[in-house]
Amino acid sequence: MYKININKNIINSFLILILLLISACSSVPQNTSNSCSIFNERYLWYKHAKKTKDKWGTPIYVQLAIIKMESDFDWLAKPQRQKIFKVIPYKRPSSSFGYSQAVKGTWEQYKKETGNKLATRARFKDSVDFIGWYTNKTESILKISKKDAFRQYLAYHEGWGAYKNYKNNQKVIILAKKVKKQSDKYKSQLKKCQKRLNKNKYIIF
């Protein structure tokens, strides 16, 4: 009986530790408007964002600005349900999910083209890699620089085919301007902490 209780205590402690680690890794950073603050809390995220920059050429500040607009760094973000008669909850307007708010079809295309078969939209590492892949294709298809946060977001939101009609959508233009403004802020902030982040080789949870 004594041994059984000890084993139960060990298992319970282990489960609590796992839950704490999951919570620490998945919770939304306290200040999502400041890139240095984000990476101070989530140093591993910096490693993933930097890897995406090195792999695809998409600046870290553009990656962050897109995620900020799409999900505000909420790993479980989904579009709000539509409502019937403004009261009864109905279906969601799209299959967007996770940090990047990628829809299922485009996410499957990403996994197929990159070979990242185990990628999930709820993981930051995969989400920034997806953004890198998408912005890289945007540059190839539409000749938009990966440093151009405004036009990259227009293509990200509207899709490669519908991008040409973005001038008819004032709402998305306003969103893209916000992404550009946030991207500039992130870029300026990173200049103050990136050297330190590059020197830090250890991951502290």
Q: Domain count of the chain?
A: 1
89: part of which helix (H) or strand (E)? strand 88-89
- Residue 84 has which token pair? 């019937």
Task: Tell whether 14 is covered by a domain.
Answer: no
Are the C-beta atoms of residues 99 and 75 closer than 8 Å to each other?
yes
Give the percent of the chain with pLDDT over 70: 77
Q: Is residue 8 part of a domain?
A: no
Question: Is the pTM of the predicted complex or chain greater than 0.85?
Answer: no
User: Is 13 among the domain residues?
Assistant: no
Q: What's the pLDDT tens digit per position in 166-189? A: 999 999 999 999 999 999 999 999
Per-residue pLDDT tens over the stretch 70-101:
999 999 987 554 444 444 443 444 679 999 99
Q: Which domain holds residue 78?
A: 31-199
Residue 24 inside a domain? The answer is no
Look up the CATH number of the domain holding residue 76: 1.10.530.10
* Farthest-apart Cα atoms in the chain, separation: 72
